[in-house]
Amino acid sequence: MADADLRAQQALAARTVRGLAMDAVQAAESGHPGMPMGMADAAVVLFTEFLRYDPAAPGWPDRDRFVLSAGHGSMLLYSLLHLTGYEDMPMEEIENFRQWGSRTAGHPESFLARGIETTTGPLGQGISNAVGMALAEKHLAAVFNTAEHEVVDHYTYVIASDGDLMEGVSNEASSLAGHLRLGKLVVLWDDNHVSIDGPTELAFTEDVLGRYAALGWHTQGPVDGHDMDAVAKALETARAVSDKPSIIACRTTIGYGAPNKGGTAAAHGEPLGEEELRKAKENLGIPLEPRFLVPEETRRFMGQAACERAASHARWEETFAAWREANPEKARLWDRVHARELPDGWDDDLPEFEPSEKGMATRAASGKVLGVLWERLPELVGGSADLTPSNKTRADGALDFTDAAPEGRYLRFGVREHAMGAICNGITLHGGLRAFGGTFLIFSDYMKPAVRLSALSGVPCLWIYTHDSIGLGEDGPTHQPVEQLAGLRAIPHLYVVRPCDANETREAWKLALMRTDAPTALALTRQNVPTLDRTTYTSAEGLHRGAYVLSDCDGAAEGQLPDVLLLATGSEVHLALEAQALLEAEGVAARVVSMPCWERFREQDQAYRDEVLPPEVTARVAVEAAHPLGWHEWVGAGGAVVGLTRFGASAPYEAIYEHLGITAEAVAEAARHQLAGGRGPVGTPSPEPNPEPAADEER
């Protein structure tokens, strides 16, 4: 048991956190005061007795990670960062909670302030990110530690809410964490029995700790989350369990101290109101004025606690210096991967694919490129959501990451797409590694929240999506993506790259790996596509500009503009080339533009974009075996799009393309219609509607 003076100082700090949370939410006239008020005691114990961090060096690689998965309670984290002296969190930021331009957003955003390890708020994401961080720690320890020096040895702590544990993604990630025995992952569950709708018993009555025990976790509680001795003892016990992740149920009162709203949903997601705030402060012994009060005694105590916690950083630096001297090769690798730099020559002699009419699926080409990169980039880790043979995500000879082999880099995510996305985000955010995850493009919907957060937070994960269209054939419309490309392209900062052949696929990998501040999604075919002869067509390196002239019309060298532009991505580029030949036989000058990455093309200067898509040429046709949404940015309001506005069908893919009108002739006919002065997609065969469901009596 800690001495009485320490507990008294911690209690005052917890009251200060509660006061800051109440005041900030009230000033903003929005926010969630209840969770910070309820978890203040446990969080102060964690930050003053257990968590290793250094406010003067927030990026210290061997710091403990703290994830506030219950991101709605963001004022808990902001208050603690302020009290422990993080430079990015002065009082002005606390006072400007939820205001334009402040670092104190409604939910923590990792790119706004140092000390925020990951962007949370969408429930379940933070705890799942933390699984990735703990996995990264375990792998990097196996790679870099030596018998003489341990330079990777830290914990990942989480505060999670009832809502976090309701979300399916947290169960997916927790299941994998238990399977992998991530013993340095410790979750404090804010077991306050309240959600926005009211008591959790309205919808959440399972034995949560029993569930986690079944998932392979060490469980404790419920403990009194307001009893600092009990919380400290539980944390000590959890840290002593090295072969299982730990969860501690902390029984708390949401809105602790508020006389009327405490313990109710009214404290969850709205300001307490001036009268309730006044009474809560009186209950807690907090002066009514000034607002945003931090007693000097608390400021000194928390500053001293931060210095004590940071002392482990100084000790680590000594160990690290000795390790560096003894292990210069490992040290060079450490420096490179933590700086997210690629080694010299990393892209030399990547596979060059010979011209072939039969060609290969772009997923197969991706697998071959990955096989070479796997040997050159030891920071590359990842896997598939139980689709490894289909996604081609495992290099020959790759070692699986397991409890017994944490040096392994291939991750068996199981059928857990959503957790895969969130875990990959956590791995990459941890530092020292770049993570990728693979599944079918249709199942990108299962992981969309994690993909969105990778884009929002600037996390350079690589998403490998195969079976990218109706071209997957017989598996039918349940597995054939139609609207997915449009949905992914709508996510800001996400590159969506759909290469047309094997060599564009090689360049897509290069583009993705050189991008260190945002994610990239590759959309790859199941079916074979021709490998283009690049002595006839433009180099695949054009992919790096997002779009490029793949095949120009006769006379282009003399400055002749084409009569019509044919735009395409992926497998449909080959239909555009066939349509070009049909049109040229009729005397029509057509240009084929491969547009594998719209987002990259938008970043090019206007001169280049006009060079590829001359404004003077208004006759334009796009073709893509997907929903047309978005294409009119490139073909213009009057341009034509040969695409899909219905679901696919179960049949050999050649038959599906023919029946649904995604053909070279359809592209040529749309071009003819454009040149005759037509607008829009008139001239494209109208696809038959999806069949009506059978009448009940026929079922």
**Active-site amino acid positions:** 417
SS3 527: coil
Residues 579/564, Cβ–Cβ less than 8 Å: no
Judged by phi (left if over 0) then psi (alpha if -120 to 50, else beta), residue 303 lies in alpha
Q: Distance between CA 351 and CA 683 in Å, rounded?
A: 41
Q: Check: CB of residue 626 under 8 Å from CB of residue 481.
A: yes
3-state secondary structure 492-538: CCCEEECCCCHHHHHHHHHHHHHCCCCCEEEECCCCCEEECCCCCCC
Q: Residue 195: beta bridge partners?
A: 198
The dihedrals phi and psi of 525, each to the nearest 5 degrees, come to -80, 150
Give the tokens for residue 574: 């080959």
Please name the amino acid found at residue 458: G
- Cα gap 199→191, rounded to integer Å: 11
Output the six-digit token pair for 313.
Answer: 């950083």
Cis ω before 222 (30° cut-off from 0):
yes
Of 559, 429, 444, the C-alpha closest to 496 is: 444
How many Cα atoms occupy the beta-carbon half-sphere of 387 within 13 Å? 21
Residue 188, CB-side half-sphere exposure with 13 Å CA sphere: 38
Closest CA to 190 of 40, 313, 370, 66: 40
Amino acid at 493: H
Q: Read off the tokens for 370.
A: 């990955």
Run of H or E residues at 437: strand 434-440
Question: Residue 190 is inside which H or E element, if any?
Answer: strand 185-191
Q: Tell me 434's DSSP state.
A: E
The one-letter code for the residue type at 217 is W
The tokens describing 95, both together, are: 């006072």
CB 684 within 8 A of CB 644: no
Report residue 195 CA to chain centroid gap.
26
- Cβ atoms 98, 105 nearer than 8 A: yes
The closest of 273, 258, 252 to 30, measured between CA atoms, is 273
Residues 6+ apart with CB under 8 A from 651: 473, 474, 659
Report the distance separating Cα 252 and Cα 299, nearest Å. 25
Closest CA to 40 of 70, 64, 65: 70
Q: What is the DSSP secondary structure assignment for residue 49, as one 8-state letter?
A: I
Distance CA 357, CA 663 (A): 17
- The C-alpha atoms of residue 182 and residue 191 are separated, in whole angstroms, by 22
SS3 530: strand
Token pair of 127 as six digits: 């705890």
| Distance (Å, whole) CA 480 – CA 227 | 54
- For residues 3 and 226, give the distance between their C-alpha atoms in angstroms, rounded to a whole number: 17
